Structure 1
């Protein structure tokens, strides 16, 4: 299993924008066959080092994650996210 974690800092972290982005990310569920699990959370601490949203997804393999990356609906969601994010960081790791 492979876990893909992305943290997003939005250009406008207003509550309604955070919810809109969360909903858009969650809309990936059921639309990309390789995506086994998805979680999206909005940061509650709001410290200076915090990012605004976390996306946690699970795949059977690296090949499945790579297929997810180029899936047309993921590309659509990613294009939207690119218009509202200020920064993003990611980590991908094998789940034992």
Structure 2
């Protein structure tokens, strides 16, 4: 199994902006066959080094992760994230 984690820091950190982006991310659930698990969380600490949103997804294989990356639903999410994010970091690992 491959776990793909992305942390997002948004340009606009208002509760409304964060809620909208969380919904955009959660909207992928059930729409991408390769996506086995989707979890979206928002930061509760709000420290200087905090990111605003965490996305945790799981896939059966690297091929499934690659299929997710180019899926039309995910491409729409990428468009949204490109317009609202200030920064992002990611990690992918096998478990």
TM-score computed with the length of structure 1 as normaliser: 0.98
| Deviation by residue 1:18-74 (Cα, 9 ceiling, x = unmatched) | 011001000000111000000000000000010000000000001100000000110
Q: Which residue in the other structure is 1:38 paired with?
A: 38
RMSD between superposed Cα atoms in Å: 0.4
CA deviations 1:67-93 (Å, max 9, x no partner) are 000001100111111100000000000
Tell me the number of residue pairs that the alignment of Structure 1 and Structure 2 aligns. Answer: 95
Structure 2 runs not aligned, ≥5 long: none
Runs of 4+ in 1 over 6 A off after TM superposition: none
| Counterpart Cα distance in 1 of 2:39 and 2:65 | 15
Q: Distance in 2 between matches of 1:78 and 1:31?
A: 15
The SS at the match of 1:16 is helix
TM-score, length basis structure 2: 0.99
